């Protein structure tokens, strides 16, 4: 395709609302699968981009930047709100580029391979206790009874938080997904309250650790601050809140979708027999039902893409849900295929400068959970409607009733 001289005219593109359950369940039913599969569309936030190679290229491009505090101000977030404090001080993804580049290396230090390995027995222990409760109940809602508690329980313990404190913030941390909702205005009061509650808890925790250090993420951050790493008090407190918020919803949804895929494909027992296929199961679930199905980005410079010219300031939406089902990259794209040859789908955790810093922890959580679940349960089936809120930049099953039997050896 030859590059035009004019910038892309969003108004001339087909209009498509991708914030629907029908789109997320089967993007190709709307985009097509042939050579004329839709490349760009006018979505509710900007120009949506669907092909895998283009989405991947955009993730790698330094001119493609995350939303920022000014973007949220335009959506109605007050300057003096808890939401704005979180965006500026504690969300390294959405803060200013200067804050991002200074805070990211400090936070990354907390996710050492040794710490992730050390967390695995703790993850299995939480998983086993949740399964015990499901068995005692006789049935379960997989998200409400398992993945909700597993993901917040693990990130909390990983940071150094007493498990007994989790009920103090577990309903607030799950609200992070609301930040991507359009329109945002109706949920601003709820978000403000939730972010404020998480920050208040984090501030109390910092004060406690200042008195008595432990071998944990929070103590490391305090040491970094006192060692001159230029972390302000607000950044210290909000960074801890930010880790709780970033680590809850995402894994909660992705683990739910991984279990959904294993049930729907009939591959539950394969994983029991071949745990070496767990990474492939996680990857396939991210390709088919990504917990981050779209990323809204702002262009910090003009760029050319797929034969079109985009202008600095344009909003582009990297549609991961569509990219994962691109037939040009993945033959038989809607099949959950444990034996899919490499190269694998590799953008579910982002790519480039804002690559997910919790990736190793998230993979450990999902991997250990699938291992324990398939070891202990069999004949796992869906036992009701899967409830998905298809809006925002983070989504997945909020409710997923299942039935199961206990494996005889257990």
Task: Report in angstroms how near the CB of residue 147 gets to ligand HEM at its nearest.
Answer: 10
Interface residue with ligand HEM among 246, 299, 321, 338 (CB under 6 A) is 246
Q: Does 257 bind ligand HEM (CB under 6 A)?
A: no
Q: Which residue is nearest to ligand HEM (CB)?
A: 358
Find the part of the chain contacting ligand HEM (CB under 6 A) among 34-42, 190-198, 212-220, 353-361. 353-361
Shortest distance in whole angstroms from residue 213 CB to ligand HEM: 21
Distance CA(300)–CA(312), nearest Å, equals 5
Distance CA 401, CA 410 (A): 22
Residue 347 or 402 having the CB closest to ligand HEM: 347
- In terms of CB distance, is 259 or 291 closer to ligand HEM? 291
Query: What does the DSSP 8-state code read for residue 7?
Result: B
Min separation Cβ 158 and ligand HEM, Å: 8
Pick the binder of ligand HEM from 160, 350, 367, 392 (CB under 6 A): 350
Name the DSSP class of 215: S
**Chain-centre distance of CA 77, in angstroms?**
22
For position 152 contacting ligand HEM by CB under 6 A, the verdict is no
- For ligand HEM, the closer of residues 357 and 370 by Cβ is 357
What whole-number distance in Å separates Cα of residue 146 and Cα of residue 48?
A: 33
Choose the binding region for ligand HEM from 135-143, 240-248, 338-346, 400-408 (rule: CB under 6 A): 240-248
Q: Is 295 in the site for ligand HEM (CB under 6 A)?
A: yes
Choose which of 153, 247, 324, 401 interacts with ligand HEM (CB under 6 A). 247
Q: Which is nearer to ligand HEM, 286 or 386 (CB)?
A: 286
Q: How far apart are CA 75 and CA 365, in angstroms?
A: 34
Q: Hey, which residues between 98 and 117 contact ligand HEM (CB under 6 A)?
A: 100, 104
Q: Measured between alpha carbons, how far is 239 from 92 in angstroms, rounded to an integer?
A: 8
Nearest to 39 by CA among 20, 64, 57: 57
Q: Which is nearer to ligand HEM, 13 or 46 (CB)?
A: 46
* DSSP helix, strand, coil percent of the chain (3-state; round to 5): 55, 10, 35
Query: Measured between alpha carbons, how far is residue 301 from residues 7, 83, 309 in Å?
Result: 13, 27, 11
Query: Closest approach of Cβ 394 to ligand HEM, in Å?
Result: 8
Q: Which stretch binds ligand HEM (CB under 6 A): 115-123, 188-196, 228-236, 242-250?
A: 242-250
- Contact call for residue 288 and ligand HEM (CB under 6 A): no
The 8-class DSSP code of residue 302 comes to -
User: Distance between CA 338 and CA 268 in Å, rounded?
Assistant: 11
Residue placing its CB nearer to ligand HEM in the complex, 81 or 251: 251
Of residues 169, 162, 191, 165, the one with CA closest to residue 178 = 191
Q: How far is the CB of 316 from ligand HEM (least distance, A)?
A: 12
Contact with ligand HEM (CB under 6 A) among 362, 370, 372, 373: 362
Count helices and strands in the chain by DSSP H and E runs: 16, 12
Give the sign of the dihedral formed by CA 88, CA 45, CA 11, CA 36: positive
Answer yes or no whether residue 81 interacts with ligand HEM by CB under 6 A: no
- Cα 402 to Cα 141, 232, 242, 380, 408, distances in angstroms: 6, 46, 31, 7, 19
Q: Is 286 helix (H, G, I), strand (E, B) or coil?
A: helix
Burial of 124 per CB tally in 10 Å (0-12, 13-18, 19+): middle
Whole-angstrom distance, CA of residue 119 vs CA of residue 125: 10
**Does residue number 93 form part of the binding site for ligand HEM (CB under 6 A)?**
yes
Among 156, 361, 370, 377, binds ligand HEM (CB under 6 A): 361
Helix, strand or coil, per DSSP, at residue 379: strand
Beta-strand pair 315-319/47-49: parallel
Residue 251 in contact with ligand HEM, rule: CB under 6 A: yes
Q: Which of 28, 181, 254, 374 binds ligand HEM (CB under 6 A)?
A: 254
Which residue in the set 92, 188, 298, 402 belongs to the binding site for ligand HEM (CB under 6 A)?
92
361: left (phi over 0), alpha (psi -120 to 50) or beta: alpha
- Applying CB under 6 A, the span of 34-42, 116-124, 193-201, 354-362 interacting with ligand HEM comes to 354-362
Q: Does 173 bind ligand HEM (CB under 6 A)?
A: no
CB nearer to ligand HEM: pick between 81 and 250: 250
What are the residues binding ligand HEM (CB under 6 A)? 66, 92-93, 100, 104, 155, 243, 246-247, 250-251, 254, 291-292, 295, 348-350, 354, 356-358, 361-362
């Amino acid at each position: 395709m030859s590059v035009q001289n004019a910038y892309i005219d969003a108004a001339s593109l087909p209009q498509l609302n991708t914030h629907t359950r029908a789109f997320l369940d089967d993007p190709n039913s709307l985009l097509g699968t042939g050579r004329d599969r839709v490349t760009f569309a006018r979505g509710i936030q900007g120009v949506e981009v669907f092909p895998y190679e283009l989405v991947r290229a955009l993730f790698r491009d330094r001119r493609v930047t995350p939303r920022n505090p000014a973007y949220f101000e335009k959506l109605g977030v007050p300057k003096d709100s808890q939401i704005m404090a979180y965006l500026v001080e504690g969300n390294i993804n959405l803060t200013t580029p200067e804050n991002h580049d200074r805070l990211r290396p400090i936070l990354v230090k907390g996710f050492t391979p040794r710490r992730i390995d050390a967390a695995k027995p703790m993850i299995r222990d939480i998983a086993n206790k949740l399964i015990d409760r499901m068995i005692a109940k006789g049935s379960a809602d997989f998200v409400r009874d398992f993945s909700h508690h597993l993901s917040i329980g693990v990130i909390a313990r990983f940071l150094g938080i007493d498990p007994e404190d989790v009920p103090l913030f577990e309903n607030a941390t799950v609200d992070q997904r609301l930040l991507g909702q359009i329109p945002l205005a109706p949920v601003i009061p709820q978000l403000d309250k939730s972010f404020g509650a998480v920050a208040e808890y984090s501030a109390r925790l910092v004060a406690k650790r200042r008195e008595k250090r432990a071998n944990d993420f929070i103590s490391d951050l305090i040491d970094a601050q006192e060692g001159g790493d230029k972390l302000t008090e607000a950044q210290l407190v909000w960074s801890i809140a930010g880790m709780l918020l970033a680590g809850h919803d995402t894994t909660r949804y992705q683990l739910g979708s991984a279990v959904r895929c294993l049930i729907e494909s009939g591959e539950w027992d394969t994983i029991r027999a071949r745990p070496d296929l767990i990474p492939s199961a996680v990857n396939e679930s991210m390709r088919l039902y990504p917990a981050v199905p779209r990323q809204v980005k702002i262009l910090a410079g003009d760029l050319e893409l797929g034969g079109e010219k985009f202008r600095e300031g344009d909003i582009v939406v990297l549609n991961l849900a569509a990219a994962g089902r691109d037939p040009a990259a993945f033959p038989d794209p809607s099949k959950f295929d444990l034996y899919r040859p490499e190269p694998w789908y590799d953008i579910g955790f982002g790519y480039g400068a804002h690559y997910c810093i919790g990736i190793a922890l998230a993979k450990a959580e999902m991997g250990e959970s699938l291992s324990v679940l398939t070891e202990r349960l069999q004949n796992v089936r869906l036992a009701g409607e899967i409830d998905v809120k298809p809006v925002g930049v983070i989504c997945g099953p909020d409710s997923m009733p299942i039935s199961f039997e206990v494996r005889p050896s257990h």
